[in-house]
Structure formats: structure tokens, C-alpha cells
Amino acid sequence: MAEAVRACEYALIRVYPDPIRKEFLNIGVCLFDRVGGFAEVRVVDNFRRLRCLFPAFDFAVLRGLEHDLRSVLRGRQGAFDPDHLFYLAGETFAQSLELSPRHGLLTADPAQALADLFARYVANPPAAPGTARRAWSVRRGILAELRNAFAAVGILGSDKLHQRVLPASFGAGPDPYRFDFHYRPNGVHNLIQALDLEDDTRGVRVLSSTVGSLRDEVGRKGLGLAAIAVHSGAEDGGLAGYHKEILAAARIGLHPVTAAGELAAHIRAELRL
């Protein structure tokens, strides 16, 4: 005999690292039926994607989130209370977390429906075949040309031009992101990052977010920060225009690797080597 279909509701759990800009990331989903026969929450088991996109976010607010939401959804002493969950989200999680509007769903298997919703709206999307490999290949080529140009003018290996620099070097938190090159003439931090401007959306977003956070950090100390993304120079159409807009909004300059020699000479002059 076929299992009876249940009328359920679900809502996505969203985190808002910057409430003013209202940019959010789905980190979980809750699903329940109105008669209280099923009530469950699923939240991502790590926050790598959130940390990459918004490294300055206070992750302490997410500690024990799934357990807390499940407790509220199932209510005190097992009493089913989804309305209280939505009320609490609006009152307590303001500025950081929010539940999406509720949506109806008919299913004979709520547990499987929850898993399907999580896969569709929350889990990291699969990368397009070859995308990650291409982005790394392009970056590796740009880095090789930059190193050759820097070596040609005698600044590669200098104690004034640093490679693979962590944000912690500027007083930021334990962010694992690494900048390809860093130098600091006249007290201004200068960052250089090789970037596949055509296909690497994630790289563009992470660079923009990280630079923005660091600029705020060093700004509080009265220091300046400048950053440029060095690209292949061959981008034409596709996502390149969109990526340029993201970088421009983050005040990150663009420099084609075809002019790496001019960049190397400029850095040498700034460092007075």
C-alpha cells in the first residue's frame, strides 16, 4: 500500500554577513508538516563556502545552530511549534540569520524531501567539468610570467617583495587565503593576485571580499591598502565584464600580464631598489 502524501512546509535558513547590503547565503533548510508528525532541520556541517565569500563574518553566532533550531522547531517537551521558530528567527537572529518565507510541499517521504531540498538549495553546487582545472592553469601561467618579469628587474626574492602572504600579516584573523605578492612602500600595503578573469567567479568574489575586509582592518590603524588583479589580457565577453564590475566595486585594479615588465619596473622604482 502506498504511503499517504503529507502536506508539508519548508523554509531556507539564510545568513546575512552584511545586513546593510542584504547579501545572503543559504546554509540550511527546515521542513515540517502541520500536524506535527515530522519536524527536522539540516544545516551545513562546515562553513567553508561562507568563510571564503565573507571571511570577516563572526562565525561564533553559528555555533550549535542546527541543535538550537531543532529544539525550537520541536518545541518544549516535544510540542510542535513552527510559528515560534519563525518568531524567534525574526526577533533573535536579526542582523545575522533569517528564515525565508514558507513554501508548501506535498511528499510521502519528508526525510527524503528534506535531503532533496538541501541538495538543491544549500549544498555546494558542483563545478562545471574542467572549470577548476582551467582556473588553476590560467593562474599558474600568469604567476610564471610575473615571476619571470620580477626576476628580470631583480626584485624577485627581495626582502621587500613578499610571496604567498597571509592576511594575518596585516593584523587580520586566521584567514587561510594567500596573496601572491605583497610589498609596502611608504606605509601602504600593496597586494598583487593572479586571476582567471574569464571563468573564476569564486576567485573573483573571494579576492574582493578578502581585500575589502583587510582594507577595513588596516584603515583602522591609519594605513592604506591597494590591490591589483593580474589577468591574461585575452578576456573578451563571457563573464569577464561581470567580474570586472565586482573587482571595481571592491576597488581592485586590473593589470594585463602582457604588461608584466612595466609592472615590475614600477614596483622596483617604488621600492627604490
The pairing of beta strand 188-194 with beta strand 224-231: parallel
pLDDT higher for 64 or 232? 232
* 3-class secondary-structure state, position 227: strand
Amino acid at 95: Q
Quickly count helices (H) and strands (E) in the chain.
8, 10
Domain assignments of the chain as residue spans, ordered by start: 6-121, 131-271
Which of 3.30.310, 3.40.1350, 3.40.50, 3.30.300 is the CATH number of 131-271?
Answer: 3.40.1350
| pTM, to two decimals | 0.53
Q: What is the pLDDT of residue 1?
A: 42
What are 102-139's pLDDT values in tens digits? Answer: 889 888 888 888 888 888 888 866 555 555 555 567 88
Query: Would you list the DSSP string of 130-172?
Result: THHHHHHHHHHHHHHHHHHHHHHTT-TT-TTSEEEE-GGGGT-
